[in-house]
Structure 1
């Protein structure tokens, strides 16, 4: 079975009257013989692909999540097929193979084992898939059993169904891994080409030390994801307050770079922000000194604190705060 990422490039040569209504970048499945049906009718990959194409409107808008969702169902299908069970078999047979799958993911080959959090996430995806399949008339039953559960938040009690296949796992505050203060200091010194004592490391052969140190400190302080700080534009970096303050500075993260394209706000220490702006001012001055060139107005594009949308051509020249460009 093959899992590929869909692209509509060149669809005009496919002999179709219209562009396929498949989300760009969607993850799709194909059997080894590239057939979608046989003597038994439509194959399971047809249903899985249809479910995948509806993910963006069923609570999974982030393109990076689509391959994981499809892979979860694909691995389940491959496992149950080895035991002679079909994707939409009877509830009894599906429940039986689910037990085997649970043991396989808990105590099977090490490279195929799942931690409790990964298992619960996979079970949530499979449960969503089967609920969708039942609702669409593809399946008559699902392999999961539910019980009534009660949760409380902010003094409010809510009732809901709990999947019995879920494993118990530690509370979030127990599983959060914090970067040790001593190690983070050593890490930032390393980015700046310094030894543990803060002196210049003559054996270091890295490049862009000022940028690396400034960006590294910003990430440690603000907690930005790699995708967020990689494509951050200079105009989206918060302005440096006129006075130094012990209170962190608000750091709006534009929706164009966040996971799921959902705007959020984080915070950054004043000193980390000051170091970042010091690098930005130095880099901009070094890049433009003595040059009369300015981007033509016809290139268009907009950029401010809440987001930037440079044109494709302007994006090739306009460098972001991290030294990379973005066009979104």
Structure 2
């Protein structure tokens, strides 16, 4: 079975009367013979693709989630096909196949084994798919068995269905991984290009050391995910309090970079926040000063920021009214036209310097990396672009040490 990614570019040449109502980037599963029906009867892949297309309307708006769910269904369908079991077969055959699949994922080949948490995710996705298939009339039964389980939160007790195929997992407090303070300090010194004693490591060769140290300390202090601190913009860093305080400073995490796009507030200590502000005020402008790099104009064909700071609700710029939702907003360029969008709409894909959707260049192409407006919209987790282009690989920043350090 093959998995393709849908793209609606040049759909006018397909001979269709209207644009297909398929989300951009939606995965599509296709059988090996590239057929979707047999003698006019749709194959199971047709039902799977329809379920995938309905995911955005059922609480899964992220393209990464679509591809992950498609991969789960693809592996399950391939396993059933090897054993001659239909995806929408009878319940006894499906239950037997599920038992064999559980053994395959727990005691099978090493490259096929799953951790308990991964297995539970797969079972949750397959359970949701089969319940949808039964409700839509595609399937007559599902392979899962459920039992009633009582859960309580505070004084509220609820009865829920528990999938018997799920494995037992350790309690959350058992799986917490702690980083000792002395090792954390050693790690930050390595990011800054320093030796274990705090002196300069003359044999180390790297760049953006101040950025690495500042953002690394920010990540340790706030507990942000890599996706979050990598795409965090300078305008989203909270202001530094006037007086130093031993109490942590509230750190709002924008919904555009969080997992599931859920806004939350975490905390950061004063020293870590001060180091980030020093990097933004001193090192970052010096690194960008005189940089000849400019993003290609092809990057600006869709998104392009003219270097304006996020504005208060109701304000105007370029003669455009503020957002009716009352949220802070920003002016962007959409197909060479200045429009205003909600700040929450700027997602991680729009912030990526390597992606085609976001660029600090206005349609005129007259702004380079050294301009102030451009710097403010380059994520703090990304290096200021040089002649070779932007750097956004944290794995390289954390492993590029000389041998024997």
Normalised to the residue count of structure 1, the TM-score between the two structures is 0.90
Q: Secondary structure at the match of 1:117?
A: helix
Root-mean-square deviation (CA, aligned residues, Å) is 2.3
Q: Deviations over 1:103-149 (max 9, x none)?
A: 10010001110111111111000000000111111111000000110
Label 1:4 to 1:307 Cα distance change in 2 as closer, same or farther (>3 A). farther
Find out whether 1:50 has 2:50 as its counterpart: yes
Structure 2 residue 385 is matched with structure 1 residue 315: no
**Distance of aligned partners of 1:18 and 1:301 in 2 relative to their CA distance in 1, 3 Å threshold:** farther
C-alpha distance 290-100 of structure 1, shift in aligned 2 (>3 A):
closer
**In structure 1, C-alpha distance between the alignment counterparts of 2:93 and 2:328, rounded to whole Å:** 52
> 1:230 offset after TM fit, Å?
1.8
Q: Distance in 2 between matches of 1:290 and 1:85?
A: 64
Unpaired runs of 5+ residues, structure 2, are: 292-304, 313-326, 334-357, 362-368, 385-405
Matches within 5 A, 1:231-250: 231-250=231-250
Residues 315-324 or 142-151, more deviating: 315-324
Once the 2 structures are TM-superposed, how far is the Cα of residue 302 of structure 1 from its aligned partner? Answer: 4.8
**Which sits farther off after the overlay, 58-67 or 88-97?**
58-67
Contact 2:250 2:268 in 1 (8 A): yes
Matched, 1:303 2:298: no
Aligned length: 319
SS in 1 for 2:71: helix
Query: Matched residues in 2 for 1:42 and 1:214: separation?
Result: 56
Give CA deviations for 1:208-262 in whole Å, capped at 9, x if unaligned.
Answer: 1111100111111112222222221111100001111121111111122222222
Indicate if the aligned counterparts of 2:309 and 2:330 stay in contact, CA closer than 8 A: yes
SS of the residue aligned with 1:104?
helix
Are 2:27 and 1:6 equivalent residues in the alignment?
Answer: no
1:295 matched residue in structure 2? none
Distance 1:301 1:44, change over 3 A: farther
Does the 8 Å CA contact 1:27/1:66 hold for their aligned counterparts? yes
| Alpha-carbon distance in 2 for matches of 1:198, 1:7 | 51
CA deviations over 1:186-205 (Å, ceiling 9, x no partner): 21111100111111111111
Within-5 A mapping of 1:1-328: 1-39=1-39, 41-286=41-286, 299=306, 302-303=309-310, 309=330, 311=332, 315-316=360-361, 317=369, 318=374, 319-323=378-382
Shifted more, 315-324 versus 61-70: the winner is 315-324
Deviation at 1:154, TM superposition (A): 1.7
Higher mean Cα deviation, 174-183 or 236-245? 174-183
Report the more deviating stretch, 219-228 or 237-246.
219-228
CA distance in 2, matches of 1:323, 1:115: 33
Paired with 1:205 and 1:195, the residues of 2 have a C-alpha distance of 13
Task: Name the CA distance, whole Å, in 2 between partners of 1:274 and 1:204.
Answer: 26
1:272 and 1:29 map into 2 onto residues whose CA distance is 47
Unaligned stretches of 5+ residues in structure 1: 292-297
Classify the secondary structure of the residue corresponding to 1:197.
Answer: coil
How many angstroms does 1:32 deviate by? 2.3
Distance 2:223 2:263 in 1: 15
| Alignment partners' CA distance in 2, 1:138 and 1:51 | 11
SS in 1 for 2:360: helix
* SS of structure 2 residue aligned to 1:303: coil
Report if aligned partners of 1:231, 1:324 keep a CA contact under 8 Å in 2.
no
Whole-angstrom CA distance in 2 between matches of 1:76 and 1:288: 50
Q: What TM-score, normalized by structure 2, do the two folds share? A: 0.74
Of 56-65 and 131-140, the range deviating more from structure 2: 56-65
